[in-house]
């Protein structure tokens, strides 16, 4: 039994040296290759002054080297911090400084983006993966391939393994800290739940700064499976993405619903051979029911799992759909998975009665250690619960409203902070959104508050894109049958496609800004 993530690579390199660990495009690493290369990268990092617990940034697009960067950094005893190269410069600077990053792992293809980060970046000392002259000393990949193999320093399972920065609806992004223990617990639980084995080929769609990627990067080496990384080109061109699932004989796919919707919309699925596929996992946001029904109708042989969990807890519930949704009832987030406990609390932190809505709090082996460099936010997000035994247990406040229904299934109602008062009535914006999405002709929808003309009260605004265009009054008529009149949006903006954040979620902040400017 290993207790450090990188030991999984070394173990698989002994067991199945030639088995492919990671693949992207036409390039791939067998387990034995990766074991050697990650030890070389670790040696170069250690030589650059990286020590146990230091944070090392990964500045890469979707490519094969992401896997090497992750495991080389872990082998050096350090903590990997994915940085989205498409973020605004200021945001990247903030992240480098907040996290105290002294070293970046990158690639020559990022030279245009990296050009703005010079010697005045404070902490930044070395960039690995670039060639030639730079404001900061660089070490090329060629030089890495001639390095000796590094021994990992002595480490504990409670050492940090990675920090993922979440955008956060207000203020600066927060660095969510995960340990080797939480990463391995996640890997073990997913392997058990979806029966993942060495013969599996997992399609990774998410960039590494999105925690959905931990299935492809952390679970795969635990069981000796293969992860096929979708390149940025595949992600941008759904036709190529759909063909990748066929060509690579993928058995497990995990992404946000949007990627699946786009592939269905190419109308190529009936002509493609996805027979190897046995699981589709989706998470990040609800799946519009019309699309979900269509996907399931085209893939009767594939199990569909709705995955729920904030970055702070990684996955904590699952719901494997027994059949396509028949009516417009939202898909539940389902059941807690192994080694996980929950509380559902009301506004006074008292447990709610059965079937009543409340905030979901989670305690699990996949829970974060806290927010990097932010003890205050960490304290606010944790809740100390005294059990009947007198023991005090720490739970994470998800900020999500749920209820436990009569069948023992958890239903997600929306965000606690997405509750607003519209014309004096309390409205759950997410409920409104779900109601709109239940209309078969709606493709995407987002609902948000907007200041009313009097500047005091709030009204509800909506942004939508159509599957098939429908007059707005008709949609409003549909909504009036489902929602109280004060919860029906008054302000509508139509989009060909809703704008998305880099992690593929709907960009609500941008939509809100556009609605305000109208």
Partner 1 sequence: MDVKDTLIQFIQHDLIDDDQPINSDEDLLTTGLIDSVRVMRLVNFVGEAFAIEIPPEDMTIDHFISVDAISDYVASRKS
Summarize as ranges the residues that interact with partner 1 (CB under 8 A): 25, 61-63, 85-86, 107, 109-110, 112-113, 231-240, 243, 265-268, 500
Q: Please, what is the angle between helix 429-437 and helix 472-480, to 10°?
A: 120
Least separation, in Å, of the C-beta of 154 and partner 1? 37
Least separation, in Å, of the C-beta of 209 and partner 1? 13
The residue (of 146 and 271) whose beta carbon lies closer to partner 1 is 271
The residue (of 25 and 357) whose beta carbon lies closer to partner 1 is 25
Least separation, in Å, of the C-beta of 266 and partner 1? 5
SS3 112: helix
Least separation, in Å, of the C-beta of 104 and partner 1? 15
Least separation, in Å, of the C-beta of 434 and partner 1? 26
Beta carbons of 398 and 361 less than 8 angstroms apart? yes
Q: Which of 58, 90, 83, 86 is nearest to 72 (CA)?
A: 58
d(CA 80, CA 178): 10
Least separation, in Å, of the C-beta of 210 and partner 1? 15
Element (H, E) at 118: none
Other C-beta atoms lying within 10 Å of the C-beta of residue 186:
26
The residue (of 239 and 493) whose beta carbon lies closer to partner 1 is 239
Other C-beta atoms lying within 10 Å of the C-beta of residue 474:
11
The residue (of 86 and 329) whose beta carbon lies closer to partner 1 is 86
E strands within 129-278?
A: 138-139, 160-166, 174-179, 201-204, 226-229, 252-255
Least separation, in Å, of the C-beta of 240 and partner 1? 5
The residue (of 271 and 386) whose beta carbon lies closer to partner 1 is 271
d(CA 279, CA 320): 10
* CA–CA–CA angle 220, 223, 229 (5° rounding): 15
End-to-end CA distance of the chain, in Å? 59
Q: Please, what is the angle between helix 257-265 and helix 238-247, to 10°?
A: 90
d(CA 298, CA 306): 18
The residue (of 13 and 259) whose beta carbon lies closer to partner 1 is 259
Least separation, in Å, of the C-beta of 260 and partner 1? 15
Least separation, in Å, of the C-beta of 27 and partner 1? 11
CB-based contacts of 300, cutoff 8 Å, min separation 6: none
Other C-beta atoms lying within 10 Å of the C-beta of residue 377:
16
The residue (of 25 and 325) whose beta carbon lies closer to partner 1 is 25
The residue (of 470 and 510) whose beta carbon lies closer to partner 1 is 510
Least separation, in Å, of the C-beta of 168 and partner 1? 22
d(CA 461, CA 422): 11
The residue (of 152 and 242) whose beta carbon lies closer to partner 1 is 242
SS3 185: helix
The residue (of 225 and 228) whose beta carbon lies closer to partner 1 is 228
HEC secondary structure over 438-481: CCCCEEEEEEEEEECCCCCCEEEEEEEEECCCCCHHHHHHHHHC
The residue (of 128 and 412) whose beta carbon lies closer to partner 1 is 128
Beta carbons of 471 and 464 less than 8 angstroms apart? no
SS3 47: helix
Sign of the Cα torsion 25, 27, 32, 38 reads negative
- Scanning the structure block, which residue is given the tokens 């293809």? 109
**Phi/psi of residue 353, nearest 5 degrees:** -75, 165
The residue (of 149 and 236) whose beta carbon lies closer to partner 1 is 236
Least separation, in Å, of the C-beta of 251 and partner 1? 22
Least separation, in Å, of the C-beta of 392 and partner 1? 46
């Amino acid at each position: 039994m290993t207790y450090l993530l990188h030991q999984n690579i070394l173990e698989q390199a002994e067991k199945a040296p030639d088995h492919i660990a990671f693949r992207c495009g036409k390039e791939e690493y067998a387990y034995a290759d990766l074991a050697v290369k990650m030890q070389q990268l670790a040696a170069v990092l250690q030589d650059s002054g990286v020590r146990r617990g230091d944070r090392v940034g990964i500045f890469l697009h979707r490519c094969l080297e992401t896997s090497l960067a992750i495991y080389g950094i872990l082998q050096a005893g350090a903590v990997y911090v994915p940085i989205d190269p498409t973020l605004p410069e200021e945001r990247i600077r903030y992240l480098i400084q907040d996290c105290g990053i002294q070293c970046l792992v990158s690639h020559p293809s990022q030279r245009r983006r990296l050009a703005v980060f010079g010697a005045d970046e404070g902490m930044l000392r070395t960039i690995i993966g670039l060639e030639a002259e730079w404001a900061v000393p660089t070490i090329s990949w060629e030089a890495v391939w001639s390095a000796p193999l590094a021994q990992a320093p002595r480490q504990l399972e409670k050492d940090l393994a990675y920090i993922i920065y979440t955008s956060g609806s207000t203020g600066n992004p927060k660095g969510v800290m995960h340990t080797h223990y939480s990463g391995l617990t996640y890997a073990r639980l997913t392997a058990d739940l979806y029966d993942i084995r060495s013969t599996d080929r997992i399609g990774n769609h998410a960039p590494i700064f999105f925690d959905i990627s931990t299935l492809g990067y952390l679970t795969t080496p635990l069981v000796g499976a293969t992860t096929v990384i979708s390149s940025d080109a595949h992600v941008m061109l759904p036709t190529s993405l759909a063909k990748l699932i066929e060509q690579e004989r993928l058995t497990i796919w995990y992404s946000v619903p949007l990627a699946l919707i786009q592939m269905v919309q190419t109308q190529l699925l009936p002509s493609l051979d996805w027979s190897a596929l046995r699981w589709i996992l989706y998470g990040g946001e609800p799946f519009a029911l019309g699309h979900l029904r269509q996907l399931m109708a085209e893939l009767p042989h594939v199990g569909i799992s709705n995955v729920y969990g904030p970055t702070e807890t990684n996955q904590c519930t699952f719901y494997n759909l027994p059949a396509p949704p028949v009516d417009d009832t939202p898909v539940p987030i389902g059941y807690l998975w192994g080694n996980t406990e929950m509380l559902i609390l009301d506004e006074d932190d008292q447990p709610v009665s059965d079937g009543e809505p409340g905030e979901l709090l989670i305690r699990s082996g996949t829970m974060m250690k806290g927010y990097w460099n932010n003890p205050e936010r960490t304290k606010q997000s944790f809740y100390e619960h005294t059990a009947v035994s007198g023991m005090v247990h720490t739970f994470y406040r998800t900020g999500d409203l749920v209820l436990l229904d009569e069948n023992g299934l958890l239903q997600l109602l929306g965000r606690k902070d997405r509750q607003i008062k519209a014309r004096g009535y309390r409205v759950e914006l997410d409920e409104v959104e779900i109601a709109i999405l239940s209309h078969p002709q709606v493709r995407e929808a987002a609902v948000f508050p907007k200041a009313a003309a009097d500047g005091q009260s709030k009204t509800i605004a909506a942004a939508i894109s159509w599957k098939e265009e429908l007059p707005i009054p008709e949609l409003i008529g549909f909504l009036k049958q489902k929602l109280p009149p004060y919860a029906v949006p008054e302000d509508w903006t139509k989009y060909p496609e809703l704008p998305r954040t880099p992690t593929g979620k709907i960009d609500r902040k941008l939509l809100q800004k556009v609605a305000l400017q109208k």
